[in-house]
Amino acid sequence: MAGRPGRRRRRGGRAAAAPGGGAVPGGRDVGIPNLAPALGRRRPSGPCRGRAPGGGGTGGRVRTVAAVLIAVLAGAAGVAWADEAAKAPAGSVADQPKAAEPAAAPEAGKPIVAEIKVVGGSTITADTVEYYLNVSQGDVFDPQAIAKSFRRFWDSGLVEDLKVEYEDIAPGKVRLIVTVRERPKVTEYLFKGNKKLSTSSLREKLDTANVTLKRNVPLRSSELKRIKQAILDVYAKEGYASAVVEPVVSDDGPNQRKVTLEIDEGAKVKIGEIRFEGNKVFSNRRLRMALKKTKEKSVLRLFSKKTIWSKETWGEDSENLKKFYMNHGYKDIVVGEPQVNLIARNPAGRTQKEKNFRMVVTIPVQEGKQFKMGDLSIKGATVFDGDKLRKLYDVKPGKTYNYSKVEDGNEAVRNLYQARGYIYSYTNQALVERKDKPDTVDVVVSVYEGDRFRLGRLEFAGNTKTQDKVMRREIRLFEGDWMDMSLFKKSMFKVNQLGYFKLKEDPLDFKFDDKNRLVNVTIKGEEVGRTDIQFGFGYSELEGFFGQFMFNTRNFLGRGEILGVGVQSGATGRSYTLSFSEPYFLDKRMLVGGSIYNQTVDYSALTGSLSDYVRKGKGGSLVWGLGVSDFGQFSVTYGYEDVYASYSVLRTLGPDSPITYPHGRPLPTPYTGIVTEDKFHEVYSGITSSLTPGYGYDSRDDPFDPSQGISYFLRVRYAGGPFGGDFDYLKPEWGVTLFHPLSRRTIFAGNFEGGIEKSLNGVAIPFYDRYRLGGERSLRGLEWYSVLPRTKAGAYFVDANGVQLGGDRYLQLNLEYQVKLGGPLKLIFFSDIGNTWYDTQGWDLGLVRYTYGTELRIFLPIFQAPLRFIYGINPRPFPDEKRSNFQFSIGSTF
C-alpha cells in the first residue's frame, strides 16, 4: 500500500515520515525527502519477527526508504551521472574518502542499524553502501539522513537501478536492504576508421585534454558523450572539422561492454570564406586583414595553419578585431560569437570526404560610433611629474581616439617606473564620454606606483657545468642595486646570447622580502651542449669530400672560454687549426685570444675553376677586444701569414694560337708566349703582416640559430708599412645582418656586406687575396669562387700569365624568408645578389649577379652549424655556367 506524507502507522512500527514531500526529477515520487512513499509487505524469516522500532506491533514489513528506476530517470529526466564512481569505486570502504557528514552515534530509545544487506551486487558491497549512504552498522537508524544520501549513491554512476528498504529484525534493530542493478563495466576502448591520426596519437591528445579512456569503470552515456566531443575537438584542431564519431557499445562478457569509437575522418576542411555581419564602416576585406591567426585558404597559404578554424586562435583574433576598431575610435565595438557552417558541395556523398565540405565563418559585429580624443590626465603619480608622463603619450586632442597609442604610452610609463625599482607598478586607462562633446572621450590614466625594491640575492638554477660567475658577469645589476627591470631584461638577453645556457620559458623566480624591500631572483635554465666533437667525413663545395677531427667549444671547462682544435684532409687539401679566446680576461669585459693554422687548398679540383691554383699558407693571429656597450665591442687583430702559391697555365703552339686553360676555355684576351704544350708553373709567395682595428655590434638572440636581432661590423685591414711583410695595402670592409620575426614560425633575415682593397705602394695585391664570390657561403646557386670580375660580354680579367683575377671590391646582399617546419627543420626561400669588380669597372651595378632558390636546414645538437641542402637557380647564366645547381654544406651564409 502507498503511504502519504505526514501519515503515521498505528502498529508495526513507524513509516518514517518527514515534513514536506518531493520527487526525483522525472515525475515519480520516490521518497526524497518524503520517506514513506511505499511499504513492502513481507514477513522476515526466522528471528526477524518482533516489534517494530517504537513499539506497537510486530515487524515483518519491508518499507521502501527510496527507489529509482533507471528507465524513468534516463528517459524522462536525463539525470547527469557524476564522476563520483571514480572517486569511490565499489569495494572496501577503507579505500574511500570520508563522507562529509558523519552518521550520528546511537541514542537511547532510537533504533539502530543492525545489518546492511546488498541484493543484486557483485562488486558493490556493504562497505560501498556505507560510504555512499553515510551509514554503518551500529548507527542510529535515520531514514531522513539516508534519503538525503540516496542521490549521492545514484549520482556515483555505479548502478542503473537502485532501491533502499528496511525491515525490523528485533526490538530497536533494523536491517537495511539495498537492491541494485550494477552498470556494466567498460573492458576496452577501440578505434576504428582513424587513418590521419594514429590510435596512439589520439590517446595522447585525449590525455592532454584530460580525457582518459579508463577501463573497468561503469559505462555511462555522459562519459561517452564527453569522449566523443573530445575526439571531435582533436580532429577539428587538425583541420578535420567534418569528422564524425560514433561510439558503438557491444557485449564483452557478463555485465561487461566493449566500446568501439567508429570515426569517419573526412577530408581537411579549411576556411573557404570569412564573412562579417553588421559592418558598415569597414569592408569585409579590411576586417579580414585585421585577423592575424584566422585566414581564408589560398595558394600562398597552402601549408598555413591559419586556414584551420580554431577556437583558441579565434580568442586572440577576436581581441585583434576589437583592437582594430578601437584604434580607429570605435571604443564600443562588440564582436559576437562566430557562426561556423560546413556546406557540403556534394550532399549525396556516402562518406564525409565525398561530401567535400566547405567552411564559411560568419562574424557578427556591432560597430557603435566613432570617438575623438579629448584630454588625457594622469592620476596617482607622485614619483614623476604628471606633465613629464603625459609627454610619453603620442596622442592629441581632436584626433581620432587610438587605443594602441594610449597603451603604448602606458607601457612607456610602466617601463619608466620599473627602471627605478617600482616593479609592482601598473597603469590603467579609463574612458569618460564628455557631455559637452558627445563624440569625444577623455582618457584618465591611473598609476599605481607600489613600493621600490632592491635586488637581493641573485642565483642560477640548472647550470650543472657552467660556473655562476660566467653568467653573473652578464648581469648588469649588482646585489643591492635598485631593481631596474629594463636593465635586468637586457641582462637576461645577454645570458641567453651566450649560446650554452638556454633560459626556460618562464625563467625568473621572484621571492619578495616586503619588510626589507628586497626581491631575490633565481634565473632558471638548462645547459645546452655547445661542445662539438667530430670524427668522420663530410662534404662541401669548397673542400669536397673530407675526413676530419674537430673539437669546438664556447664553454671550455664551464668558464665561458672558446677553444677550437681541428684537423681536416680532403680532395682539395688539408688543414690544421688551433684557436683560443677568453671573452672576460681578468674578469673584465676584455677579449684576449689567438690562433695558429697551417692550410693547403688545391682550387683546381673545384668544378668550374678557370686555372690550376694551389695555395699553401701558415700563420696566426692575436686579438684584443674591449666591450664598449651592452652589445658592442672594439677590437684590434694582428695577423701574420706566409703564403706559397702556384698556378699552372696550358700554352699552345705558336704566338698567334689561342691560349686555353686545362678545362678547355679560351682566354678572353690575346696572349702569346713560350711555345710549349706542357703546363708551366708560376710560383708566387710572400708574407703578409697586418693590423686590423674594428668595431662590432651583435644583439642577436642566439649566436647559432638567431630569430631576432641585428649585428654589424666595420673593420680596416692595414698590411705592410710599419708591420713589415711583402705587401702594402688597405682593405676596409663592412657588413650588417638583420633577423626579424614575422610570426611564431616565420622569420625575415637579411645580410648586406662589402669591401674594397687598394695597394699602397704600387705592388699588385696578390691574386689569392682578391675578392671572389660564389658558393653556399655567398651567392648560392653559383659554383664556388666562380663570381669574378667580368665584362658584359662575359670576359674575365687576367694577369700577364693568363690567370683570372679576383675583384678589387665586392658587394653582397642575401635575403631569406625562413619557415620553421618543426623540430630541427627549417625551410628557406632565398635570393642572393652581388658581384666583384675590377678596379677599372668602378661600382657598375649593371654587372650585378643574382640567384634565388630554396634551402632545407637541419640543426643537429652535435654541430654548431646547420646541415644545408640548397637548390639555387641562376636566371642569367653565362655560356660557361649552369642554370641551376644543387649544393650541400655544413655552415651558414651569414
Mean pLDDT of 461-467: 89
pLDDT tens digits for range 145-183: 888 888 888 888 888 889 999 899 999 999 999 999 888
Buried b (16+ CB within 10 A) or exposed e, 620-657: bbebebebeeebebebebebbbbbebebbbbbbeeeee
Q: Are strands 561-570 and 544-556 parallel, antiparallel or unpaired?
A: antiparallel
**Per-residue confidence (pLDDT) for residue 311, from 0 to 100:** 85
Mean pLDDT of 356-382: 95
pLDDT tens digits for range 646-696: 776 544 433 443 333 333 333 333 333 333 344 445 567 889 999 999 999
Q: Which residues contact 712 (CB under 8 A, 6 or more apart)?
A: 696, 697, 734, 735, 736, 737
**Per-residue confidence (pLDDT) for residue 547, from 0 to 100:** 61
**Per-residue confidence (pLDDT) for residue 502, from 0 to 100:** 84
- 72 in helix, strand or coil? helix
Map grid coordinates 662575359 to a residue: 794
pLDDT tens digits for range 761-799: 887 788 788 999 998 889 999 988 889 999 988 888 887
Q: Counting runs of H as helices and runs of E as strands, what totals does the chain give?
A: 13, 35
pLDDT tens digits for range 484-537: 999 999 899 899 888 888 888 889 999 999 999 999 999 999 887 655 555 445
How many Cβ atoms are within 10 Å of 430's Cβ, its own excluded?
11
Q: Which of 867, 858, 889, 862 is nearest to 532 (CA)?
A: 862
Residue 496 CB-density burial (10 A; 0-12 exposed, 13-18 middle, 19+ buried): middle
pLDDT tier at 93, thresholds 50, 70, 90: very low
Can you list the domains of the chain with their CATH numbers? 38-182 (3.10.20.310), 185-264 (3.10.20.310), 271-366 (3.10.20.310), 372-448 (3.10.20.310), 454-523 (3.10.20.310), 533-890 (2.40.160.50)
pLDDT tier at 480, thresholds 50, 70, 90: very high
Map grid coordinates 645547381 to a residue: 885
d(CA 219, CA 221): 7
How many Cβ atoms are within 10 Å of 434's Cβ, its own excluded?
14
Q: Considering the chain, what percentage of its residues have pLDDT values greater than 90?
A: 50
**How long, in residues, is the chain?**
894
d(CA 840, CA 244): 73
d(CA 836, CA 804): 13
147 near 114, Cβ under 8 Å? no
pLDDT tens digits for range 217-274: 888 888 899 999 999 999 988 889 889 999 999 998 888 899 999 999 988 899 999 9
851 near 831, Cβ under 8 Å? yes
Q: Which residues contact 392 (CB under 8 A, 6 or more apart)?
A: 409, 412, 413, 416
Q: Are strands 244-251 and 185-192 parallel, antiparallel or unpaired?
A: unpaired
DSSP letters for 828-873: EEEEEEEEEE-GGGTT-GGG-EEEEEEEEEE--TT-SS-EEEEEEE
d(CA 724, CA 718): 11
Map grid coordinates 533504533 to a residue: 111
